[in-house]
Structure 1
Amino acid sequence: QKANELSKKFSISDKLSEVIIRESDIIFGGVSGFVITSSDNIMAPNAGIDKSNSQGKLILYPYDPYLVAEQIKRKFFLDHGIHVGIIIVDSRLMPARVGTIGVAIACSGIEPVLDRRATTDLDGNVLKVTFQATADNLASIANHKMGEGDETMPLAIIRNSDAKITDRKISPKEMAISHDECLYVRGLKN
């Protein structure tokens, strides 16, 4: 019933509607062809589901992307003896901007966020709320290199990024902010 309503309201197929409902944490609304959702604490059109370049199939985020990233990191170490950071990347639209950027769906082996609070800016002012989204910034670099068209570049290697390598398990909550604290979500509710 809900999938049928969503399908009609936003002019999408019943199949896509069902998968969006299943993959979404929250459905905020939408426009024709797109449902604005939160999936794994990432705001994304259609729960991040990709139906382009897939011969009619729907491509979803990995079931447990942090586990997948950890497994890739571990395999790389076992095969090559090198500690690396792994970021699973998707492309994303930014509000009021043209084009896509990269977003880190998950990561392992790097500190995903750098807390800049209590450091100073160029004028010596103490930063009070600034966090640097290391994993998302690196995801944008990778997304730029991998491309959005027929490049068939499934991965990118980023060297000398100064990202902090770590062996600790990364929690999905580290890269997310609650919807109550999110500037965009709070603004849309008003």
Structure 2
Amino acid sequence: MDHSEALLIGGRAGVGKTTVGWEVSARLRAAEVAHAVIDGDFMGKVHPAPAGDPHRTAIGEANLTAVWGNYAALGYRRLVYTNTVSVLDESAGQFRRAMGADTRIVRVLLTASDETAAGRLNGREIGSELARELANSASKARVLDERAPVDTVRVVTDGRSVVDIAGEVLAATGWVNYL
């Protein structure tokens, strides 16, 4: 493979992006498909936000570029990337700048009902951030639903196993011949 490919897994908080990303990676490992995994939520985790970068997009892109550069130097060409808004059009540029202009991008938007997301967040958020996460999750779900590009594969996660969801996500890539 002479070009890079990025599987972008997006969705509201509590939808299962990280868990699905790890299951996709497990299935790729089982099929002996070389790949790298990045949890994009950590690429811009700094406080306070850098001057002139209130949404931490510049620092996130700089970190993505540096980390991907290390993977690419070792010969990796496939990336599994999880982040809430990674599927939006404005994110595509950062992947092409970091990974190459001819990078093939596969967008998958995981969806879940308010009830499902709230249940998952209630189990996960044991600190002081639960109320903020619930509000942000609902807000991001609306934004993603309205603004995800038409070529985005939407995968419902309500009432489904992680293995089943990951199989559907992986099918969108064409990286393996089995599900």
TM-score normalized by the length of structure 1: 0.23
Query: Which is richer in helix?
Result: 2
Query: Which is richer in strand?
Result: 1
Larger Rg, first or second structure (1 or 2): 1
